Amino acid sequence: MVKQTIQIFARVKPTVRKQQQGIYSIDEDEKLTPSLEIILPRDLADGFVNNKRESYRFKFQRIFDQNEKQETIFENIAKPVAESVLAGYNGTIFAYGQTGSGKTFTITGGAERYSDRGIIPRTLSYIFEQLQKDSSKIYTTHISYLEIYNECGYDLLDPRHEASSLEDLPKVTVLEDPDQNIHLKNLSLHQATTEEEALNLLFLGDTNRMIAETPMNQASTRSHCIFTIHLSSKEPGSATVRQAKLHLVDLAGSERVAKTGVGGQLLTEAKYINLSLHYLEQVIIALSEKHRSHIPYRNSMMTSVLRDSLGGNCMTTMIATLSLEKRNIDESISTCRFAQRVALIKNEAVLNEEIDPRLMIIRLQKEIQELKDELAIVTGEQRTEALTEAELLQLEKRITSFLEDQHPESKLEVGADMRKIHHCFHYLKKLLNDKNIHGTSIASSEIKDHNSQEPLKEEEYKKLRDILQQRDNEINILVTMLKKEKKKAQDALHFSSMDRSELRRSQSSPFPPGNPEGPRMLPPSAPTQAPDSSTSQYRSSLLHGKTGMREEMSLGRQEAFEIFKRDHADSVTIEDNKQILKQRFSEAKALGESINEARVKIGRLKEEITQRHVQQVALGISENTPVPSTPDLLEEKLRSQLQEEKRRYKAMFTHLKALKVEIEHLQLLMDKAKVKLQKEFEAWWAEEATSLQVNSPAVNSLNHMKPFPQTPESQHERSQLLSSKSDVYARKILPLPGPLLHSQEQSSPSIPLEDRIPERPVSSVPLTGDSQTDSDILAFVKARQSILQRTGFQ
Ligand code: ADP
Ligand code: MG
């Protein structure tokens, strides 16, 4: 049993504005616990009633400042928890902080770069790597992904997500058994045998969550997401199974509604917007008070699900995410205060071991048989009929495995049946006689040494040949996969650069099947997967089916989508990722070729060693001299070359595997970005269509046209860009880099000449008479005019 208080860490999100920096300081004295000091700016300090303090100091296990990388966060926070989960203890990591402070970035990761991947993908990678290394146990991994919104649980991996909205799905409910263990009804568990499968599940859940979100429910800030890795391990032959769960939790935004007192002053008492967080705080307060016997876990779904993680059988870690800007000071102080209380909670983690009932049954059956046999001997009831063919065969098999078993205490179990005992003796006698005859003949031969050595070598060669064959197969699968993937990426590139008039003719959806968005090949390990893990196909069908993106799109709408896509900030990310992906493909291809070369070389070296050896033996026979027991110089040299080549091969193979994971991750990021793009387009389109109807017939007036929607975040970023011109943000905001036309129009990114859209007055648009198509065409014309306006070409 391990007793431990909940570990608390703080992570400060990078601020863009430099002047914010004097707002906090980090004190990291080697000997003391690090502390974070939040300094209230003068004008704000006056606003707090009963509060003349100018600064607040909070202690944390460790504080990660703005520039700390995702890798550092994983190494320091998540890796120790993952290790204890591998050892059989439950673990939980939860991120707490106001909306926009970096919870999702920390737990799941950023949507742009591979290096931005967060705790979940890194933990999955680490766990699967460790499982592969440890062959002493049999491991099984399952994944579940739960979203709690408005006190209701939803299964983010439920296949029915495809057909329904969040509210129509069966609710996940909490059940408590007589031992007060919590069970979640309707939450599906998906087996993942590889890192890729687990990663697919993560992205599938995230995409489901994004699709289910509407501006009304604001699921991403108001809901809690619990990604759980269920790990069970067992030593071969043992009946004891160890079960451990790792919850990775992205909580809802912790922002509160502040009560405003007379004169607009802020009162320090503020309420959570989110009821679950209110209950979470109550549970934490109760747990941190020494003499409280009742802990109100049952008040909310989230506290019930996380019951073990809070004051129970779990190693728990909290990450307080802070966005330390002036306007967020009070929220940041609340987050730190919450963390201080959490730090008082003590947990007791125990190893979760239980007996596997199936193995127990086998063990008991064996025991019964032994007892029956013993009884038969004691009562003298011996069977006399001859043993059947099957019984004889089974007996001989047992004798063979008994003889092969090197363990000094191995037993030959035949039961108390005298017929079987007799047969065993006969069989052993026969074997012994055969061996004696064989043994004498060999002893008289001069090549005894050679023969006693040879079987060993034969065995070694066979093993190497098998391994080689396996690797060959793996490489073939990988190379085929890479070829297909490359072709898809090229198709996608080709598609995006296709002439727009051609696009008009092609009448296809913006993401036709066959693009990287289309059904993707399963990872190479697919044939060994569990039946429920065909998530890639499921995911891609979901990505197509769910967004309301119809296969048959009218021309105008298609064109508008193209423009929308090109103008959208995310398309830069998609393009960037495409380029990186292309690079990775060629790297993987080159590596694949080098691996093939190394493989051929290994084969050649082995051949040479065998030949050399055969030569030596032949020489020995012809000259009637015994073959030297150690290989000669040349053979030794060949062997060391072989070793070296194998090492190289292995290193390249490992690298190729890592590349494969990166490629998969980038593709998933792209998929997600595209679904988001489609979703935003649909919303914008619907809004435009409505406003078109409302304003009809005055369609010539463009004043009511809304610009393409921008998230508050990106608007914020845009204004930040204008003041700071930070490179990082510039990438996101300037989708079409090029020289600015007019210096006073800095807010309008200019378009390269070839992409300019010719002006087309609404009156010259040929209408078809079909109302749906016509409204599409008009909307499209307006869309391009809106873009022209925004980009300074009109
Ligand atoms: P939350 O989930 O707490 O609402 P997010 O994780 O979505 O916040 O972060 C808000 C924005 O800030 C995102 O665009 C994210 O990429 C960015 N961000 C957050 N933390 C960091 C960080 N440590 N480094 C770089 N960008 C970050
Ligand atoms: Mg979030």
Q: How far is C-alpha 296 from the geometric centre of its chain's CA atoms?
A: 33
Q: For residue 98, which ligand has an atom nearest its CA?
A: 1
The 10s digit of each residue's pLDDT in 200-241 is: 999 999 988 888 777 666 667 889 999 999 999 988 878 888
Residue 294 in this model has a pLDDT that exceeds 70: yes
Cα–ligand 1 centroid distance for 279 (angstroms): 25
Instruction: State the Cα–Cα distance between residues 1 and 214, nearest whole angstrom.
Output: 45
* C-beta of residue 227 within 8 angstroms of C-beta of residue 207: no
Distances (CA, A) of 407 to 150, 399, 421: 60, 14, 21
- Rg from Cα positions in the chain: 34
Instruction: State the Cα–Cα distance between residues 498 and 63, nearest whole angstrom.
Output: 50
The 10s digit of each residue's pLDDT in 407-449 is: 777 788 877 778 888 888 888 888 888 877 665 554 444 444 4
Cα–ligand 2 centroid distance for 299 (angstroms): 24
Residue 239's CB is within 10 A of a number of other CB atoms, namely: 16
Tokens of 687: 């809004």
Give 751 or 83, the one with higher predicted confidence.
83
DSSP at 446? T
Tokens of 609: 């060693």
Cα–ligand 2 centroid distance for 408 (angstroms): 59
Residue 734 in this model has a pLDDT that exceeds 60: no
Instruction: State the Cα–Cα distance between residues 721 and 434, nearest whole angstrom.
Output: 88
Cα–ligand 1 centroid distance for 728 (angstroms): 14
- Nearest CA to 122 out of 585, 532, 658 is that of 658
Residue 740 in this model has a pLDDT that exceeds 50: no
Per DSSP bridges, beta strands 24-27 and 138-149 are unpaired
Backbone angles phi, psi at 670, to 5 degrees: -65, -45
Question: Which band of pLDDT confidence, cut at 50, 70 and 90, is reported for residue 577?
Answer: confident
Angle between helix axes 329-342 and 275-288 (nearest 10 degrees) is: 40
Atom of ligand 1 nearest to the CA of 112: 16
Which of 202-216, 275-289, 292-306 bottoms out in mean pLDDT, i.e. has the lowest?
202-216
470 contact partners, CB below 8 Å, separation of at least 6: none
User: H/E element holding 173?
Assistant: strand 173-176
Residue 349 in this model has a pLDDT that exceeds 90: no
Residue 729 in this model has a pLDDT that exceeds 50: no
Q: From atom 19 of ligand 1, which residue's Cα is the shortest distance away?
A: 102
* C-beta of residue 284 within 8 angstroms of C-beta of residue 8: no
The amino acid present at 74, given as its one-letter code, is: F
244 contact partners, CB below 8 Å, separation of at least 6: 85, 86, 87, 88, 89, 90, 91, 230, 231, 232, 352
Q: From atom 25 of ligand 1, which residue's Cα is the shortest distance away?
A: 14
Our answer on whether the CB atom of 101 is closer than 6 Å to any ligand 1 atom is yes
323 contact partners, CB below 8 Å, separation of at least 6: 12, 13, 15, 97, 98, 100, 101, 102, 331, 332
Our answer on whether the CB atom of 117 is closer than 6 Å to any ligand 1 atom is no
Tokens of 323: 């966005």
Instruction: State the Cα–Cα distance between residues 407 and 583, nearest whole angstrom.
Output: 53
The amino acid present at 668, given as its one-letter code, is: L
Cα–ligand 1 centroid distance for 323 (angstroms): 9
Cα–ligand 2 centroid distance for 339 (angstroms): 18
Cα–ligand 1 centroid distance for 495 (angstroms): 32
Cα–ligand 2 centroid distance for 150 (angstroms): 16
Our answer on whether the CB atom of 571 is closer than 6 Å to any ligand 1 atom is no
Our answer on whether the CB atom of 714 is closer than 6 Å to any ligand 1 atom is no
Give 419 or 559, the one with higher predicted confidence.
419
Cα–ligand 2 centroid distance for 317 (angstroms): 18
The reply to whether omega before 697 is within 30° of 0 (cis) is yes
Cα–ligand 1 centroid distance for 111 (angstroms): 10
Our answer on whether the CB atom of 97 is closer than 6 Å to any ligand 1 atom is yes
The amino acid present at 580, given as its one-letter code, is: I
Burial of residue 22, with CB atoms counted within 10 A of its CB: 0-12 exposed, 13-18 middle, 19 or more buried: exposed
300 contact partners, CB below 8 Å, separation of at least 6: 151, 275, 276, 279, 280
Cα–ligand 2 centroid distance for 97 (angstroms): 9
Q: For residue 209, which ligand has an atom nearest its CA?
A: 2
CA-CA-CA-CA dihedral for 668, 671, 676, 678, to nearest 10: -170
Euclidean distance between the first and final Cα of the chain, in Å? Answer: 72
Largest pairwise CA distance in the chain: 112
Q: From atom 10 of ligand 1, which residue's Cα is the shortest distance away?
A: 100
Residue 370 in this model has a pLDDT that exceeds 70: yes
HEC-encoded secondary structure of 726-769: CHHHHHHHCCCCCCCCCCCCCCCCCCCHHHCCCCCCHHHCCCCC
Residue 291's CB is within 10 A of a number of other CB atoms, namely: 4
Instruction: State the Cα–Cα distance between residues 505 and 491, nearest whole angstrom.
Output: 18
The 10s digit of each residue's pLDDT in 670-680 is: 888 888 888 88
Instruction: State the Cα–Cα distance between residues 18 and 635, nearest whole angstrom.
Output: 67
Instruction: State the Cα–Cα distance between residues 621 and 245, nearest whole angstrom.
Output: 64
Our answer on whether the CB atom of 711 is closer than 6 Å to any ligand 1 atom is no
Instruction: State the Cα–Cα distance between residues 311 and 97, nearest whole angstrom.
Output: 21
Atom of ligand 1 nearest to the CA of 95: 3
Our answer on whether the CB atom of 16 is closer than 6 Å to any ligand 1 atom is no
Buried b (16+ CB within 10 A) or exposed e, 342-377: bbebebebeebeeeeeeeeeeeeeeeeeeeebeebe
Our answer on whether the CB atom of 321 is closer than 6 Å to any ligand 1 atom is yes
Atom of ligand 1 nearest to the CA of 68: 23
What is the average pLDDT across 466-484? 68
Per-position DSSP letters for 614-629, written without gaps between them = HHHHHHHHHTT-PPPS
Mean pLDDT of the chain, nearest integer: 75
Our answer on whether the CB atom of 105 is closer than 6 Å to any ligand 1 atom is yes
275 contact partners, CB below 8 Å, separation of at least 6: 151, 300
Atom of ligand 1 nearest to the CA of 321: 3
Our answer on whether the CB atom of 15 is closer than 6 Å to any ligand 1 atom is no
* C-beta of residue 464 within 8 angstroms of C-beta of residue 606: yes
Q: What is the pLDDT of residue 98?
A: 95
Residue recorded with tokens 């990761």: 109
What is the average pLDDT across 4-27? 84
Our answer on whether the CB atom of 220 is closer than 6 Å to any ligand 1 atom is no
What is the average pLDDT across 99-122? 94
Q: From atom 5 of ligand 1, which residue's Cα is the shortest distance away?
A: 102
Share of residues in the chain with pLDDT > 70 (%): 67
Residue 792 in this model has a pLDDT that exceeds 50: no
Instruction: State the Cα–Cα distance between residues 118 and 104, nearest whole angstrom.
Output: 8
- Nearest CA to 155 out of 226, 244, 247, 210 is that of 226
What is the average pLDDT across 615-642? 78
Residue 749 in this model has a pLDDT that exceeds 50: no
Which of 73-87, 159-173, 528-542, 588-602 bottoms out in mean pLDDT, i.e. has the lowest?
528-542
- Nearest CA to 665 out of 83, 97, 117, 102 is that of 117
Tokens of 739: 């020289």
Q: Which residue from 9, 12, 96, 105 has its CB within 8 A of the most atoms of ligand 1, so it is best to mutate? A: 105
Cα–ligand 2 centroid distance for 106 (angstroms): 9
What is the average pLDDT across 451-461? 61
Our answer on whether the CB atom of 14 is closer than 6 Å to any ligand 1 atom is yes
Q: For residue 213, which ligand has an atom nearest its CA?
A: 2
Atom of ligand 1 nearest to the CA of 99: 4
Which of 321-330, 401-410, 509-518 bottoms out in mean pLDDT, i.e. has the lowest?
509-518
Cα–ligand 2 centroid distance for 324 (angstroms): 17
Q: Under DSSP, is residue 421 helix (H, G, I), strand (E, B) or coil?
A: helix
- Nearest CA to 756 out of 602, 591, 563, 482 is that of 563
The 10s digit of each residue's pLDDT in 594-612 is: 998 999 999 999 888 888 8
Which of 89-98, 365-374, 545-554, 765-774 bottoms out in mean pLDDT, i.e. has the lowest?
545-554
Q: From atom 20 of ligand 1, which residue's Cα is the shortest distance away?
A: 102
Residue 745's CB is within 10 A of a number of other CB atoms, namely: 12
Q: From atom 16 of ligand 1, which residue's Cα is the shortest distance away?
A: 110
Q: For residue 102, which ligand has an atom nearest its CA?
A: 1
Cα–ligand 1 centroid distance for 11 (angstroms): 11
Atom of ligand 1 nearest to the CA of 250: 2
- Nearest CA to 658 out of 162, 114, 211, 270 is that of 114
Q: From atom 23 of ligand 1, which residue's Cα is the shortest distance away?
A: 13
Q: Under DSSP, is residue 271 helix (H, G, I), strand (E, B) or coil?
A: strand
Q: Which residue from 13, 206, 254 has its CB within 8 A of the most atoms of ligand 1, so it is best to mutate? A: 13
Atom of ligand 1 nearest to the CA of 11: 23
Backbone angles phi, psi at 535, to 5 degrees: -70, -30
The amino acid present at 480, given as its one-letter code, is: T
Q: From atom 18 of ligand 1, which residue's Cα is the shortest distance away?
A: 102
Tokens of 584: 């990775």
Strand partners, 143: 190, 229
